[in-house]
Amino acid sequence: MSGPGRSGERTGGRRMLVVGAHSADFVWRSAGTVAAHTATGGEALVVALTYGERGESGVLWKEEGQTEENVKRIRHEEATSAAAAVGAGFRAFDLGDYPLHVSQESVAELAELMRDFAPHVVLTHPEKDPFNPDHPVAHEAVARARLLTSGAGVASGFRTAPPSEFLAFEPHQPELCGFVPTVYVDITPVFDRKAEAMSCMAAQRYLQEYYAQRADQRGNHARKVTGNQDIRQAEAFHRLLPNVVGAL
Ligand SMILES: [Zn+2]
């Protein structure tokens, strides 16, 4: 039975793949969920299609004489540390941001990674984001790679991996991206891990307070849905495919 995560659910033996357009995207939107996954025995891998070196490294570009190569080097260290803080591995494709273009070769590389890692759950951006040129491109590439990985649900003439759960993490301005939460993940027990991951992202310090507040607000919503007063922080997701359960 595969179903939505419940507080305290064991994830032992499960693999989570998070794919972001930029190296810090996973931190703000899903670091708590990654931490909850690994804290209960799951394995997690973060893939960044770019470092966000041009478009999402604001603080670093205030330094005189800054170069793209140096920004990428710093962003690689930040993301590796942030992923480690929540128990995940980190891999960068370094495809270049603003604008991100994902070639068919890179989609094929991502599909090959998915076949090797065989994730049980895949997280990425929603389909739409009127404020960002790269996030929808990342969504499309991940959706395509996932389909190439899983095939059509019948025997295929290529190597496949089992179908995975597929969810979008919460964008910066959810209403304008058409994002409606269908899953809240209780990240209360691991919120300190998310806070540490966020603190690794020095190039985007301005987002740390914002996303800590978001986690509190989603915690409030999750309390309301469940009646569980112990939930303090949560992260929101939109399920892109139905989940299948044995009973309701
Ligand atoms: Zn981004």
Please enumerate in sequence order all residues whose Cβ is within 8 A of that of 68, keeping only pairs 6 or more positions apart, or say none. Answer: 53, 54
Ligand 1 centroid to Cα of residue 155, in Å, is: 36
pLDDT in tens, 55-112: 988 889 999 999 999 999 999 999 999 999 999 999 999 999 999 999 999 999 999 9
- The per-residue pLDDT for 3 is 43
Ligand 1 centroid to Cα of residue 248, in Å, is: 37
Running DSSP on this structure, what letter comes out for residue 229? T
Q: Calculate ∠ Cα 96-99-101, nearest 5°.
A: 70
User: 44-72 burial string, b = 16+ CB within 10 Å, else e?
Assistant: bbbbbbbbbbbbbbeebeeeeeeeeeebb
Please enumerate in sequence order all residues whose Cβ is within 8 A of that of 167, keeping only pairs 6 or more positions apart, or say none. Answer: 121, 122, 123, 183, 237, 238, 239, 240
Ligand 1 centroid to Cα of residue 28, in Å, is: 10
Ligand 1 centroid to Cα of residue 76, in Å, is: 14
For residues 167-177, average pLDDT:
97
Model confidence at 9, pLDDT cuts 50, 70, 90, reads low
Ligand 1 centroid to Cα of residue 52, in Å, is: 7
pLDDT in tens, 127-145: 999 999 999 999 999 999 9
Give me 116's structure tokens: 């090797």
Ligand 1 centroid to Cα of residue 1, in Å, is: 33
